[in-house]
A and B are shown apart, each in its own frame.
Chain A
Amino acid sequence: MKYLYNLFILSFFSFNALAQADSNIYINKAIKNIEIVYNSKSKKIEVIENVNLSYQSSQPNSNYSFNEFYDDKTKIEDLKYNLDKKINPSIWKAEDSYYQSNDIFYSDARVKYFDLNLPKQGSELNVSYKRITDDPRYFGVIYFSENYKVNSFTVKITIPNWFIADIKEFNFDGYNINKTQEKLKDKTVITYSGEGLSALKNESFTRGLSYTYPHLLFLSKTAEGPITETYFPNLNQQFKWYKSLLLPETDLDIIKNKALEITSKALNEQDKIDLIYYWIQDNIRYIAFENGIAGFRPAFASEVLNKKYGDCKGMANLACQMLKSIDIDARLCWLGTNHLNYDYSTPCLFVDNHMICAVIKNGKPFILDPTETYLSINENAERIQNREILIDNGDSYILFKNPQRDYKQNLIHINTSLIINDLSLIGDGRYLMMGESKSGFLNGYNSLKTNKMTEALENYVSNNDDNYKIKINKQSNFSNYSKNLDFDYNINYKNAITKFDNEIYIDLDHNKEFKSLDIEQDKRKADIFFPYKYNIQHITKLQIPEGYSLKSKPADLDIDQSDYKLKANYIANGNEIIYQKEIIIKNCRIDKTKLAQLVKDFNALNQFYQETITLSK
């Protein structure tokens, strides 16, 4: 689904990676005047944003970067600046180019940008521009924060009486934001103002700015003035608008023939669903085109089939049409992934960013996300779990909450048996991966050239330790994403043993996951978000050499918090030592108030890692 220009702020840091905002520049005053107006020339209702930003530098030679996104529904006009009272030259023009990102092959998103040097301490820069959105549907997210620290801000929204809109406030807690509302004869003026906003910051272990920074969601509902328009007064209207974009499939035969070919050996309906889902996973590449209305309208299924590529909408449509062609009740679905902190209680175009397919089985939706390349059909990625899904139900919709999956889905299980051979450890190992552990691994693995894959697998298992040599004995079919991924291997871990006199020191954990949890603690704004619910299980059995016994071991680690579990211990059992480790992230989102405890607990894990076992004669 299309990323509207307002949402590009979410990926701003990738664009501006080389020119991160200079912390020596701050905004003294940020003023945004937003007004809904009727343009009698174009006969359209427009949203005009007049933006005026007054910057100042606290150090000489500070470097300022301006970049604003727009697209085919918006335009930026009257962009000008004055620096230390000098108005920008008349011939001056900001750069203007297509915005390119790795995720999107092509979109209509464009960016205007320019750089300036603020030469003196106390240099004053004033930048102003006007952004015009020619359809209120496409206007919606208003952030107060900027890339630079804001000393004070005012956002004034003027809504004529003939325009009905709602404004939702997000993440206001902890901020001193004043709101006033003035009802005038023909309009309502709502003003938000405040002081002291820190600059937008890209912290680690986060999902998106919408979870963290204060902002507004402007929900356009109806216009009954110079012209009459219905936007999204409710979810039903938004659904109808989405439906209106769908075009009837032009070449059903080609889709049906392909579906029949793919499912020719299917024994039952579930087999057919499986086969079509995995065929799309394997044969259709994800390439996103998000220009104009194509950002919302799915491509024809036959076109996706023919081209062998598509975006989420096209892939969902192909899955849907193929299944429907063989009489399976498949539906198109819209949803916002967990990148967005919104749900369908706020109907607007910013509430969703993804399309998938659902099959109605026994009256219940069975979710298929064809863009998830390496997950099995029964597994769901974290990004679509616990999210509201808008399912096409003919003239109406079904609002379905996709259930949360627990960490068990994402198991990674390492099981090794080792014996000591001089200064080496030798033995066997087995890896088992499921869910997002598996898809994460396969994403990297399949991006490699065939002749590099074995080496990559070995490096993955050995944790890039040149002393840790493995030889794969047996592996499951890595191309069969419906199954768990597993492989057996021999281990020859050279120089793994440290031996002095009658004592042997061994570190049996070669992986040490989460050894250093690199989370910013100082002035952290965002909650902590893990990408998915980890479930790491590790068992290693070591045969104790004859004449030796376990002399010392690290104290058992046993931390079981509501959001995560960290457990590790060594047990002597006859002539074996059994090392067991369990790392489980139960909830991906951990409130920032729990950060200190989180850091303490993961430090304890690291401390456990820092201790060997000792065998003595």
Chain B
Amino acid sequence: MIKKLVLSLVLILTFNHLFSQQSDYKQIAESLKETIWKNPQNGFELRTTSPDLKSESAVILSRSYETEATSKRKVKYMILSAAVTAQINQITTYHERTLLNDKAAVEDYSSLKYRKKLDNNSSFMFNKIYDEATNYLGVKIIKPDGKEILVNTSEEVLLKNKSSEEKGKLAISGLSVGDIIDFYICYVEKTELGKSFSEVEILNNEYYTMNYSYTYTFSDKFDVSYSNANNCPDFIRTIDDDGNNTYSLKGKNLEKINSNWWVSSYRTYPYFEIIPLQSNAVNGKINKIMSKATGDIESIKTQAYKIFKSDALTYNTYITKALYSFGDAQSSFKNNKEFKAAPVDTIVKRMYDKWRYDNLIDLKERSSETSAINSNSAYSFSFVLEKNNIPHEIIITPSRYWKPLNEISNYSDVSFLIKINGAVPTYLYLKDPYTVYNEIPVYFQGENAYSIFQFKDEKGFLSKNYPIVIPVVDEKLNVIQENLSVSILPDFKKIKINRVVEESGSMKIEDQKFLLTKLDFFNKLGKGQSDLDTRFKNQYKINKPKVTAILSDEETDKTAYFKSLIESQYDTKPEQISNTIVSGTGLNNNDEKLIFSSTFQLNDFIQKAGNNYLLNIGKLIGTISAVKEQELNRKFDVYMPSARVFNYFINITVPDGYNVKGLENLQKEMINQTGDFKSKATLKGKILTLEVTRSYHHNFEKATDWPKIVSLINTAYEFTGQKILLEKI
């Protein structure tokens, strides 16, 4: 704490000086050096580690992160009115002391890149709007004999050297294996642009950390909320005589992150979030409440409600689009009578399909990524549904790869779904063109969520909060089915495969992105509907060269993707690829499959064995890696992409003059509560049929069940090594 105050003193005394006289840069840098490296504590005095850490590449003996922020309000005179802007002054210091045990670590720490200066200050009439920052850097090396060497930071090179921005790079001199590097970066920022200073930080990183601390000091102009999860130490709050609040957190002995395989970091590693908000000083109220954010649904809802009910132009364009889509849907019925008689699901599906076709597909743009704002889309959709008395709810949910619902703290933490309460509840996610009607993206499945608005019937719109759980889609709906016809070429050096792949549910989206063209969207969702036909033709007519070129590029990319798909599946380069066809787009609904096929030849599947041949039949189900020894023990829960099934139906034509041996080795079965692996092979005449099923029953497993998943993976891996003998008769 003493150190903290000293630091504050030095920095605050010099603060106003920082930006007025750049020549003082060196003086301030020197002053910081003294302050930060004086009176080492919290592990910054350490020079060794315990013997069990000797084999670590590097060990962070200590690291600290300190932020001090002050805010003052100024009246800026604009042309027609005066506005109050908040100026935030922030000083952030990251300090780290690390023991480097090998060359890889020395290489890792051999240079530092940083933004040295930012100057985005602007002027308007007599006002200066501040947005500027300066970085100060200090590096020293402690040799194994204790000798300290100060790195000359003025040896930096500037990779960008403009008046508005300087970017620097420093080669760390004198660094060897066995050294300790002790460095800090101090970032001094002054801004009036209303930037967000909130931070979410996972404590673990790629090196073992012996000591760590985070300290945030805010003046009384800030309200601060924070959360900490997954055994992250709690913040301790202190208040000084001036009303400045300090939140500090520290701990010891953090494991390094070893693997990110099926890990949801925010559900696994300790992390905290801290959110300083400037108090509403205009009203003279300073709300000095420190609260733990534990899923602040109400504030998110309030914010959502404000946006939804606003007259903002951008939001109104979303309403117009939704109305347009509904109108299109309505006119797609023969007459009003048919429309009125149609089930809710049918109407909403037509509206949804038209909406995504109209809003998420742009013929003029190569990418299908959309900039549609999910919350605006959801509420504008809701607005139209409400007007037409279609019962529905608005659901908010975080992604399963983000903080859980009980830890969310702001609007950007959640996504918005619409739940239609028809005969069977259905979900709409208005974000990407590939997500079909009633498809719940995998990253929301199983999440705790909240219904925040409910339109039940003509009686009106409710805004009651109640928790729900987003359903997990059954494995049977997320299927990859591969149908292979395999023949052996006459020279017995290669095999020829005709491969038809059918993908459903969550298994199709990644391939859809590369295998479908904009023409596929038009043919599936737009064609035959006069209004959409016209819009397509208009777009095509106005931008003909560009659209033609984009469609041509998409076809070229599709061909390349076929090749890469085959190569990654069989881990060998395919030859003679032909008949690459996409015969099903899977764009219409959840049951509809993406179907694509190709014919190609592969090496590496046949081995000569005297007069006979060995066929690597196991490899026909694709490349599967065994679980490595170091991954056998797992502490963390398993976040798999989805519950899913892989089916393989493989017909192999046995060459004339050969018998097959080894079918008995292809009968396998491994079943446990996490999934199963089953295979069987039969021979009828000249056709050998291999049927294999691999399934994972759930999208989530506890770490304790990891060995069962390992069994499944390793069984599949071992199967890929199976061979049959084609014996010369």
Contact = CB atoms under 8 A, between A and B. Distances in A.
Contacts, number: 124
B55 A450 contact: yes
Interface stretch (A29-37, A306-314, A387-395): A306-314
Interface in B172-208: 173-176
A611 B626 contact: no
A446 B103 contact: yes
Interface in A363-383: none
A59 B545 CA distance: 9
Contacts of B110: 285, 287, 309
B107 interface: yes
15 contacts: A61-B553, A106-B159, A287-B110, A307-B173, A307-B174, A308-B174, A446-B104, A449-B105, A455-B630, A467-B626, A467-B721, A495-B718, A610-B607, A611-B609, A612-B614
Given A306-B174, A505-B614, 19 more contacts: A61-B549, A61-B553, A97-B160, A98-B159, A106-B159, A291-B157, A307-B173, A309-B173, A446-B102, A450-B55, A450-B104, A451-B56, A451-B57, A452-B57, A466-B628, A466-B717, A554-B608, A610-B606, A612-B609
A82 interface: no
Nearest to B171: A287
Contacts of B614: 498, 505, 612
Interface in B486-545: 493, 545
B610 A500 contact: no
Interface in A494-514: 495, 498, 500-501, 505, 507
Interface string B541-579: 000011011101100000000000000000001000000
A467 B627 CA distance: 11
B267 interface: no
Given A552-B609, A554-B608, A449 B176 contact: no
A607 B55 contact: no
A516 to B, nearest CB: 7
Nearest to B110: A285
Give the residue among B106, B174, B626, B721 with the most A Cβ atoms within 10 A.
Answer: B721
A122 to B, nearest CB: 10
Interface residues on B, range: 35 or more
| 9 A-B pairs with least C-beta separation | A61-B549, A552-B610, A449-B57, A307-B173, A466-B626, A60-B545, A611-B608, A106-B157, A614-B610
Given A61-B546, A105-B111, A450-B56, A507 B103 contact: no
A60 B608 CA distance: 50
Interface in B606-623: 606-612, 614
A244 interface: no
A285 B609 contact: no
Contacts of A196: none
Nearest to B207: A449
Contacts of A178: none
Nearest to A607: B493
Give the residue among A451, A452, A467 with the most B Cβ atoms within 10 A.
Answer: A451
Contacts of B628: 455, 466
B573 to A, nearest CB: 7
B243 interface: no
Interface of B: 55-58, 101-107, 110-111, 157, 159-160, 169, 171, 173-176, 493, 545-546, 548-550, 552-553, 573, 603-604, 606-612, 614, 625-626, 628, 630, 661-662, 717-718, 721, 723, 725, 727
Nearest to A603: B493
Given A60-B545, A552-B610, A309 B171 contact: yes
A120 interface: yes
Interface residues on A, range: 35 or more
A448 interface: yes
A60 B546 CA distance: 7
Contacts of A60: 545-546, 548-549
Contacts of A307: 171, 173-174
Contacts of B610: 551-552, 614
Contact of A100 (B105, B159, B553, B717): B159
Contact of B723 (A62, A105, A446, A498): A498
A291 B630 CA distance: 46
Helix, strand, loop or mixed for chain B's interface? mixed
Nearest to B159: A98
B572 to A, nearest CB: 8
Given A450-B101, A450-B102, A451-B55, A283 B176 contact: yes
Contacts of B176: 283, 308
Nearest to B616: A498
Given A500-B661, A610-B608, A119 B545 contact: yes
B608 A447 contact: no
Contacts of B612: 614
Contacts of B104: 446-450
Contacts of B545: 60-61, 119-121
Nearest to B550: A61
Contacts of A500: 661-662, 725, 727
A59 B626 contact: no
Contacts of B105: 449
Give the residue among A98, A100, A449, A507 with the most B Cβ atoms within 10 A.
Answer: A449
B573 A106 contact: no
Give the residue among A119, A287, A466 with the most B Cβ atoms within 10 A.
Answer: A466
A450 to B, nearest CB: 4
A20 to B, nearest CB: 13
A334 B654 CA distance: 65
B531 to A, nearest CB: 27
A413 to B, nearest CB: 26
Nearest to A609: B607
A613 B614 CA distance: 11
A230 to B, nearest CB: 33
Interface in A275-331: 283, 285, 287, 289, 291, 306-309
Contact of A466 (B157, B573, B625): B625
Contacts of A449: 56-58, 102, 104-105
A72 to B, nearest CB: 13
Contact of A105 (B169, B175, B550, B725): B169
B215 to A, nearest CB: 30
Give the residue among A105, A500, A554, A614 with the most B Cβ atoms within 10 A.
Answer: A500
Given A61-B549, A450-B102, A495 B606 contact: no
B573 A516 contact: yes
A21 B358 CA distance: 34
A308 to B, nearest CB: 5
A22 B111 CA distance: 36
Interface in A582-616: 606-607, 610-614
Nearest to A59: B549
Contacts of A501: 661
Contact of B57 (A308, A450, A505, A613): A450
B493 A105 contact: no
Give the residue among B552, B604, B608, B628 with the most A Cβ atoms within 10 A.
Answer: B608
A612 B607 contact: yes
Given A309-B173, A449-B104, A466-B717, A612 B549 contact: no
A467 B718 CA distance: 8
Contacts of B606: 610
A289 B170 CA distance: 11
Interface string A421-459: 000000000000000000000000011111110010000
Contacts of A613: 609
A556 B609 CA distance: 14
A463 to B, nearest CB: 12
